[in-house]
Chains A and B, each alone.
Chain A
Amino acid sequence: MNMIVCIKQVMDPETPPASFKIDPQTNKVIPPPGIAPVPDPYSEYALEAALRLKAENSGKITAISLGNDLLRDVVKKSLAMGADELILLEDEAFAGGDSCSTAIALAAAIKKIGEYDIVFCGRQAADWGASQVGSGIAELLGLPCLTLAQKVEATDGKAKVEVVTDDGYEVVETTLPAVITVSNELGEVRYPNIKGILKAKKKEPIIWKPADIGLEASEVGAAGRCTKLVKLFQPVREGEAEIISGDTPEEAAVNLALKLREIKLI
């Protein structure tokens, strides 16, 4: 079973809200000082799904990350977790893209890799969260796509996937090759072990530029966007809460109940 996993490098989504700042001049997020980027947690669920399949069926996992300034420590985590190969679409031209130009480049790279049964993506990236790259790759490669998987089983030529729904889940079967996007309901993602970390240290990623995947610089990154960002801003918070106090926590609770009654909420 040959699997490809798309893994994005993102700003740490656990950055405390107080450290989250925007530069209104450039419409960009100011990288929070002292907080390093991480692999997108949803991409890691995608990798975990692939690793579980590999454990059952054997096979090969190729991780792909697209971006500029990709930190080796961040992108190599996929190797440390158990991916066999790492391809970086790394070039200035890839910077500033949207899900449209990202999907076009990833699809071109996947085509070049050639042999694959399943392409895994996260359900949405933790930064811009466009929730489209998986579906986009599927459209561009003419593949079926199942979104929001929580469990994946695969046997020759077919996959059986549990897909999260609003009130439970569906079991859906698809022919392979296919694209599958993975949700956090998959369950815990493994940590790299020492052996994995040592292996990752020695392994060098393959780097592809736009020309290597048959694209012009004008078709990728910011130049290839289908959407234009007009404005990036922070929602206004309506000030702080009125703290209901009391001599003891129990008394505060009673005062809260009285307050809620006063404003007719209960």
Chain B
Amino acid sequence: MAESSGVMAYAEASKDKLTTTTRELLGIGRNLANELGEPLCAVLAGDGVSSLADEAISLGADRVYVIDDPLLKEYLSDSFTPVMERLAAEVSPRIILLGQTDAGRDLAPRLAFRLKTAATLDCVDLTIDAASKRLQATRPVYGGNALATFTTETDPQIVTIRVKAFSAATADASRKGEVIKAEAGLEPAAVRTKVLDRIVEEVEGLKLEDAAVVVSGGRGIGGAEGFKQLEELAHLLKGALGASRPPCDNGWVSELLQIGITGKIIAPDLYLAVALSGSSQHLSGCSGSKNIVAINKDPEANIFQAATYGVVGDWKKVVPALTEKIRELTSG
């Protein structure tokens, strides 16, 4: 492989637009590229993605590799790994950035082992070490109890970024860049897996990840009924409903509402945590919130360590009174 250089960002699109995570990738990608004094390129691999190249350029990419092929209609590691393997061999980037998304978290380790290098997933901080010019990748470990910084000696250095951990690039339509079409070169026979069906569970109302206010309940809520009250409060605050893991495991709410290290990662302006203890695994998913407000009957609950404001008390008494007062305050 030639001397490696530059930063490569694996872009993803949804509904004919680059995703928020992709904007975040291009934001941190641009910073890292500037620090190295090297170019930033984006990769658009999929079916019908060519039209998004300009958007990637406006968001900071100097070059966009477009691999547009019907065989790449849906993400499968068997098809995307060889595509990225070929491109990485051709371009020899120093760093490959992906999002910690359904595709990114599957592709990154696969690609790392294929290219005989290493990946670090779910990073919350990325810096270039001034002396060695190597990437220092920091990620939560031990269920969010600690952070660890890793480096690797081999190129490309592959990392995925945690969603909402980096600021998104802002678009500038005057930016110039180059678009390069590349072939997928896929052998259909090499793809051993096949998507038979895709089930999208519709969650009512605002999407958890996009909400400015999230009202979240834990095991102490006790059942599905209690979550109706939290939902009412969330609705009043034009927010979304969330949960810790036990309510999801118990089927009180949809599994899609789980917040935490193995659930959704959110960063709302207001996170109202009701009757949940604030385990490290849970906090890992919501510690980016601007304000955490906790309601818990146990003054020793760990959630009070993470919260800005708290009320110690039984949620069955606190939540109805809070809802009523908020209704009064917000009704004009």
Cα of A170 to Cα of B106 in the assembled complex, Å: 14
Task: Determine if B291 and A265 form an interchain contact, defined as CB atoms under 8 angstroms apart.
Answer: yes
Stretch at the interface among B23-31, B55-63, B145-153, B219-227: B145-153
- Contact mask for chain B residues 287-318; partner A; CB cutoff 8 A; 1 contact, 0 none: 10001111000010010111111111110011
Contacting residues, chain A, for B110 (C-beta < 8 A): 135, 138-139, 145
Task: Determine if B269 and A265 form an interchain contact, defined as CB atoms under 8 angstroms apart.
Answer: yes
A17, chain B: closest CB distance, angstroms? 5
Contacting residues, chain B, for A130 (C-beta < 8 A): 120-121
Task: Determine if B199 and A169 form an interchain contact, defined as CB atoms under 8 angstroms apart.
Answer: yes
Contacting residues, chain B, for A167 (C-beta < 8 A): 200-201, 256
Task: Determine if A132 and B109 form an interchain contact, defined as CB atoms under 8 angstroms apart.
Answer: yes
The CB with the most chain A CB atoms within 10 A, among B113, B140, B292, is that of B113
Contacting residues, chain B, for A248 (C-beta < 8 A): 317
Task: Determine if B330 and A20 form an interchain contact, defined as CB atoms under 8 angstroms apart.
Answer: no
Contacting residues, chain A, for B279 (C-beta < 8 A): 14, 17
Contacting residues, chain A, for B309 (C-beta < 8 A): 241-244, 256, 259-260
| Contact flag A128-B145 (CB < 8 Å), given A244-B309, A253-B319 | no
| Contact flag A253-B200 (CB < 8 Å), given A131-B105, A146-B193, A233-B146 | no
Indicate if A29 sits at the interface (CB-CB under 8 A): yes
Indicate if A62 sits at the interface (CB-CB under 8 A): no
- Contact mask for chain A residues 234-266; partner B; CB cutoff 8 A; 1 contact, 0 none: 110100111111001111111011111101011
Indicate if A184 sits at the interface (CB-CB under 8 A): yes
Contacting residues, chain B, for A260 (C-beta < 8 A): 270, 293, 309, 326
Q: Which of A16, A165, A172, A227 sits near B151, CB closer than 8 Å?
A: A227
| CB under 8 Å from chain A, chain B span 242-257 | 245, 249, 255-256
Task: Determine if A234 and B146 form an interchain contact, defined as CB atoms under 8 angstroms apart.
Answer: yes
Majority DSSP secondary structure for residues of A touching B:
mixed
Q: Which of B101, B118, B325, B330 sits near A254, CB closer than 8 Å?
A: B325
Task: Determine if A131 and B122 form an interchain contact, defined as CB atoms under 8 angstroms apart.
Answer: yes
A233, chain B: closest CB distance, angstroms? 6
Size of interface on A: residues with Cβ below 8 Å to B: 83
Task: Determine if B151 and A29 form an interchain contact, defined as CB atoms under 8 angstroms apart.
Answer: no
Indicate if B88 sits at the interface (CB-CB under 8 A): no
A141, chain B: closest CB distance, angstroms? 11
Contacting residues, chain B, for A136 (C-beta < 8 A): 109, 113
- Contact mask for chain B residues 193-216; partner A; CB cutoff 8 A; 1 contact, 0 none: 111111111000000000000000
Task: Determine if A243 and B310 form an interchain contact, defined as CB atoms under 8 angstroms apart.
Answer: yes
Majority DSSP secondary structure for residues of B touching A:
mixed
- Contact mask for chain A residues 123-160; partner B; CB cutoff 8 A; 1 contact, 0 none: 11011111110011011100011111000000000001
Indicate if A195 sits at the interface (CB-CB under 8 A): no
Indicate if A204 sits at the interface (CB-CB under 8 A): no
Indicate if B192 sits at the interface (CB-CB under 8 A): yes
Indicate if B50 sits at the interface (CB-CB under 8 A): no
Q: Which of B113, B269, B281, B306 sits near A103, CB closer than 8 Å?
A: B113
Contacting residues, chain A, for B326 (C-beta < 8 A): 257, 260, 266
Q: Which of A13, A169, A232 sits near B281, CB closer than 8 Å?
A: A13
| Contact flag A265-B322 (CB < 8 Å), given A11-B142, A145-B77, A253-B311 | no
Q: Which of A103, A170, A174, A229 sits near B148, CB closer than 8 Å?
A: A229
Contacting residues, chain A, for B148 (C-beta < 8 A): 128, 229, 231-233
Contacting residues, chain B, for A58 (C-beta < 8 A): none
Task: Determine if A132 and B136 form an interchain contact, defined as CB atoms under 8 angstroms apart.
Answer: no
5 contacts between A and B (CB under 8 A): A20-B280, A138-B110, A188-B249, A241-B304, A241-B308
Supply 20 further A-B pairs (C-beta < 8 A) apart from A172-B76, A175-B193, A253-B318.
Answer: A11-B142, A17-B145, A20-B145, A20-B280, A129-B122, A135-B113, A140-B113, A171-B198, A171-B199, A172-B195, A228-B150, A229-B148, A241-B306, A241-B310, A244-B310, A249-B311, A249-B313, A257-B325, A260-B270, A266-B326
